[in-house]
Amino acid sequence: MHDDDMSYAVRAMRQSQPLVHCLTNMVAAPLSANALLAAGASPAMVDNPHEARATAAAADAVLINLGTPQEETVEAMREAVAGALDAGTPWVLDPIGAGTLPWRSEVALELLELGSPAIIRGNASEILGLAGGEGGRGVDSRHRAEDVMDEAARLATRYGTVVAVSGEVDHLTDGEEIVRLANGSPLLTQVSGAGCALGALMAACAASGAGPLAAAAAGTAMLTVAADRAAEGARGPGSFAAALLDQLALLSPETLAGEVRRS
Amino acid sequence: MHDDDMSYAVRAMRQSQPLVHCLTNMVAAPLSANALLAAGASPAMVDNPHEARATAAAADAVLINLGTPQEETVEAMREAVAGALDAGTPWVLDPIGAGTLPWRSEVALELLELGSPAIIRGNASEILGLAGGEGGRGVDSRHRAEDVMDEAARLATRYGTVVAVSGEVDHLTDGEEIVRLANGSPLLTQVSGAGCALGALMAACAASGAGPLAAAAAGTAMLTVAADRAAEGARGPGSFAAALLDQLALLSPETLAGEVRRS
Amino acid sequence: MHDDDMSYAVRAMRQSQPLVHCLTNMVAAPLSANALLAAGASPAMVDNPHEARATAAAADAVLINLGTPQEETVEAMREAVAGALDAGTPWVLDPIGAGTLPWRSEVALELLELGSPAIIRGNASEILGLAGGEGGRGVDSRHRAEDVMDEAARLATRYGTVVAVSGEVDHLTDGEEIVRLANGSPLLTQVSGAGCALGALMAACAASGAGPLAAAAAGTAMLTVAADRAAEGARGPGSFAAALLDQLALLSPETLAGEVRRS
């Protein structure tokens, strides 16, 4: 993937203001919606089974986040994935807690069997868990991204998808190429739902028509370059979270291209 | 409506600290509760069918927001509206996504058939959708408030209610008079749930004993004048959202009266 | 309780980064998760019946908050309490609205019958309601902490627990000793979910191995000393809420020990 592909994805996203249908968790919902708005996309947070299929079919991208699943929202997720697949809408899976929590692990695999997402995003433990290994403790990761890239690549190949593993250095792979992005602040780990917002931004970029690897990289670069800038004046996680939204809105594709660090 | 009626509604709300029963969506719930607290009201976020009727009957105002309805919360909404009507408590309907999403459109109409709300608040597409026209895309509006005021007036007359249409210039009507308020910042459109918080503030003002048109105007003026002031020092939507709550708390009825712009 | 016990609880919590399983309400979930992260703990917000028991058993502490209960989350709460009791994991009950709202009052008592929590946290009206008296209006308290300490002590003795009553002066009792802590800002009452975050912090401190009275005091001291410092530069509740998270992260056990005020 060239840096140009990433810049293209961001620029195209900004111009098209994609409608991103989010089925996400109750902790991350406000930050995810605000991150999408700040980045220039438009969130639709419809998570009931009656309306999820039509919303997904009408949206430009769909995000499925398994943070706080309930029977009714899981049913809505099934509908949304079906609607996205029918309409050719790219969808992103964020399998929070996969590998640790059996019920949602099954749900994640069931959704993957419906058809391939454009991107699977998680931390190292979740990716390992989804690939069949042992997961983490809670939502934190006890593995590093670089240590699970064999499993990530196999997962990417099995489902024909891009797997994005968050970590100190973010690792993204389509099963062949590995993209490593090294921006971001430790403060991101102190903001609940920052990873979930990242999944939402990837979905927004996946709507741009750029390939999924470029979209995953573009979303990652947006959040982490904004985080670099937000961390500069922050006193702690509260002021950082507000500044992160400010910086997402201020970020130009040119700034992004100049500040993103591949490693 | 005289400006004095609007000032009266704000002053009476501040003095009585009304209990506002909110059945709202998972994205907007934190901001709505915080906006009510900042403005001097007291939120009660009870959205289960067991307790909604009694809570609505005991509250000073009820807000029904259809952002992320589920079977159980919709049942709670039915109970809350029934409880509000029994007790003579004013209620406000925010029909997010009406006209676009069939299930919630039916729910909105079903609630309206139970009895009239004091205020219906939405963007132009939602008001058009509720009045029987074609709605918007997601939760954004693709119509302007000024273009749907005939439909808004018919809706107001049909249900004996006030219809408040948010837009660059906010338009409010009781079916006869149209009030136009021109404060507010574009940053409001980048804060998820700002419109939902507006519905909550209208409900708080409707509890004041002022008429519903004055209450809708008072809620609108509070949010948009606070937004004008918050936008001054804001770097983007994150710092703006925090400043918006600060300014809601700092706002005096006198400042409001001096800065509100009718057009 | 000695001040040293409180400092020990904070220091031990910081070192062990406890996993706190929160079953809480949709308004307070983001702030509670962020407060835990800022304070150095790790939140797991799993509130479905399929996964709640195993999560509670694997966690270091469990928080049950009755702010917006639904059938499915209440079932998850039963599972979580059972899992916590089986595993010897301390759990904290925050009975929002108890005494005012009959359904959740029954749920609270049913959970208490499963086995004793380490701590029950509420405002004066909720504690009175849970002890069998008349509750409050909405989620606000119309009683003062100091006026309900007889009932609090009886409740503590009945269930072999610590009862923490929030107020202008926070009162905590294990049925024998009463600890009074006098930090905190009126701005805390203007931030929705601040009390819920306090319950989460108490749960984090209860995981430290300190006794429950010290844990309740440590959680209270953390939130209220951070609030004192956050209030200094705040313009209103929005900037205060961000600063509160900053200060929670900045707070050292030494600062806490130096600034906590017992009365």
- Nearest Cα residue in chain A from B102: A51
Answer for the pair A181, A261: CB distance below 8 angstroms, yes or no: yes
Which pLDDT does position C258 carry in this prediction? Answer: 95
Please give, rounded to a whole number of angstroms, the shortest distance from the CA of A1 to a CA of chain B.
31
- Name the average pLDDT for chain A: 95
A75 at interface of C, judged by CB pairs closer than 8 A: no
Q: Could you tell me if B195 and B94 are in contact, meaning their C-beta atoms sit under 8 angstroms apart?
A: yes
Q: How confident is the model at residue A140 (pLDDT cuts 50, 70, 90)?
A: low
Asked whether residue B149 is assigned to any structural domain, the reply reads yes
Average pLDDT over residues B72-85: 98
Total domain count, chain B: 1
Rounded percentage of chain A residues whose pLDDT exceeds 90 = 92
pLDDT digits (tens, 9 = 90+) for B119-151: 999 999 999 999 985 554 444 567 899 999 999
Whole-number average pLDDT of chain C: 95
Rounded to whole angstroms, the Cα distance separating C231 from A126 reads: 39
Q: CA A260, CA A218: separation in Å to the nearest integer?
A: 10
By mean pLDDT, which of A163-172, B3-12, C164-173 is the weakest?
Answer: B3-12
Chain B contact present for C45, CB below 8 A: no
Q: Averaged over B167-193, what is the pLDDT? A: 97
Q: Residue B137 has what pLDDT? A: 46
* pLDDT score of B3: 87
Q: What is the DSSP letter of B206?
A: H
For position A133, what pLDDT does the model report? 59
Q: Could you list the residue range(s) of the whole structural domain that residue B60 is in?
A: 3-258
Q: What percent of chain C has pLDDT over 90?
A: 92
Q: What is the pLDDT of residues A141-167, one digit of tens each?
A: 678 999 999 999 999 999 999 999 999
Among B47, B246, B250, select the one facing C68 at the smallest CB separation: B47
User: Does residue C124 surpass a pLDDT of 80?
Assistant: yes
Residue A199, pLDDT > 50, answer yes
Per-residue pLDDT at A12: 96
Residue with tokens 């994991």: C89
CB B38 to CB C236 under 8 A?
A: yes
**Region of residue C22 (left: phi > 0; alpha: psi -120 to 50; beta: else):** beta
Given an 8 Å threshold on Cβ–Cβ distance, is C43 in contact with A238? no
Q: Is B146 exposed, middle or buried (0-12, 13-18, 19+ CB in 10 A)?
A: middle
Give the other-Cβ count within 10 Å of C177's Cβ.
12
Report the residue of A24, A31, A246, A247 to disrupt the B interface, i.e. the one with the largest count of B CBs within 10 Å.
Answer: A246
A contacts of C54 (beta carbons < 8 Å): 101-102
- What pLDDT is attached to residue B134? 53
- By the CB < 8 Å criterion, does B69 face chain A? yes
Q: Does A30 touch chain C (CB under 8 A)?
A: yes
pLDDT digits (tens, 9 = 90+) for C199-232: 999 999 999 888 999 999 999 999 999 999 999 9
Percent of chain B with pLDDT over 70: 97
C29/A31 touch (CB, cutoff 8 Å), yes or no: no
pLDDT confidence of A44, banded at 50, 70, 90? very high
For position A141, what pLDDT does the model report?
A: 62
Q: Which residues of A fall within a CB distance of 8 Å from B104?
A: 51
Q: How many CB pairs under 8 A join A and C?
A: 96
Average pLDDT over residues A233-246: 98
Whether B101 is in a domain gets the answer yes
pLDDT tens figures, C142-187: 789 999 999 999 999 999 999 999 999 999 999 999 999 999 999 9
Task: Provide the chain C residues 233-262 that lie in CB contact (below 8 A) with chain A.
Answer: 241-250
Report the alpha-carbon distance of residue C20 to residue A137 in Å, rounded.
Answer: 11
Q: Could you tell me the CATH number of the domain that includes residue A24?
A: 3.40.1190.20
pLDDT digits (tens, 9 = 90+) for A203-234: 999 998 889 999 999 999 999 999 999 999 99
Q: Which pLDDT score, from 0 to 100, does residue C240 have? A: 98
Interface test with B, best of C68, C104, C187 (most B CBs within 10 A): C68
- List the single residue in C30, C46, C246 with the smallest CB-CB distance to A235: C246
pLDDT in the model for residue B58:
97
Q: Which residues of B touch C104 (CB under 8 A)?
A: 51
3-class DSSP state of A87: helix
C166 Rama sector, left if φ>0, alpha if ψ -120 to 50, beta otherwise: beta
Average pLDDT in the C118-131 region?
95
pLDDT digits (tens, 9 = 90+) for B48-77: 999 999 999 999 999 999 999 999 999 999
* Closest partner CB to C245 (pick from A104, A139, A236): A236
For the cut 60, the answer to whether the pLDDT of residue A9 exceeds it is yes
A64 neighbors A95 (Cβ within 8 angstroms): no
The predicted model gives A11-29 an average pLDDT of: 97
pLDDT at C134: 53
C45 is in an annotated binding site: yes
- Average pLDDT of A73-101? 97
Residue A88: Cβ-neighbour burial (10 angstroms; 0-12, 13-18, 19+):
exposed
Question: What phi, psi does B122 have (nearest 5°)?
Answer: -165, 180
Average pLDDT over every residue of C64-83: 98
